[in-house]
Amino acid sequence: MPRKLAIADIHGCTQSFKHLVEDVVALQSDDTLYLLGDYVDRGLDSKGTIDYIEELRRNYTIKALMGNHDLMMKNALEGGPKYDHWFKAGGEETLHSFGTTDIKKIPDCYFDFIDTLDLFYETENAFLVHAGFNFDVPFRDDTEAMLWTRNERVDLQQTHGKKVIHGHTPKAVMQIIDDIRLGADNICIDAGCVFDSKDGVPMGHLTCLDLDTMVLQFVGRIED
């Protein structure tokens, strides 16, 4: 049976991403894989992550969303404070993965990739987004919240009872499993693959959620 799967916040952890997709999830030709943004920055191989997504797109149904780090990388082309902010937030590692210290030497096709990314998807039972939604307004209108919010409140009246599945705010993998088990309306599937720990909480996992069965599969980071 075709599956609808979601992975968030790869952050240049290409080896872990490949291991999860190919060996653990065993992606099939009739599956749909939703990617919830933040492909670049902080990890060792941002270039390889984008290359692998483009490879997957040639053979599978891949629906990729934009994350705040992807947008920051694009905006860094403008230079000035936007470049400085990106560089300090993980852009230095991204440049290194491209073998350059000059963002303008990154081939245009990688910025074209960012331009193809959507902000959210709606499925039969969920809304998928990078960070979340602002339900104080019609939630489809606040595009900044989709990339940046840390507010995990869900207005089920606006979503017509559908859950919100997102990344952006790293959680321990066991907390994600508990949220799923308890039937939470808001489920963050970012298990901080690129981090060893964050705020004292163990991280370092990449997860994949089956959107129909709500079964979570995950791997530990294998880059180092």
pLDDT at 224 over 90: no
Question: How confident is the prediction for the chain on average, in pLDDT?
Answer: 97
Question: Quick check: 7 pLDDT over 70?
Answer: yes
User: Quick one: average pLDDT of 9-13?
Assistant: 98
Q: Which domains does the chain have, with CATH numbers?
A: 4-220 (3.60.21.10)
pTM of the predicted model, to two decimals? 0.97
Q: For residue 213, how many other CB atoms are within 10 A of its CB?
A: 10
Q: At what angle do helices 108-115 and 68-75 cross, to 10 degrees?
A: 130
pLDDT at 204: 98
pLDDT at 124: 95
Q: Using CA atoms, how far apart are residues 62 and 80, in angstroms rounded to an integer?
A: 34
Mean pLDDT score, 87-105? 98
Tens of pLDDT, residues 98-111? 999 999 999 999 99
Query: Average of pLDDT values for 127-142?
Result: 98
Considering the chain, what percentage of its residues have pLDDT values greater than 70? Answer: 100
pLDDT grade, residue 93 (50/70/90)? very high
Contact, 172 vs 201, CB < 8 A?
yes
Residue 214: burial class (beta carbons within 10 Å; 0-12, 13-18, 19+): middle
Q: Per the structure block, which two tokens stand in for 98?
A: 């491209």
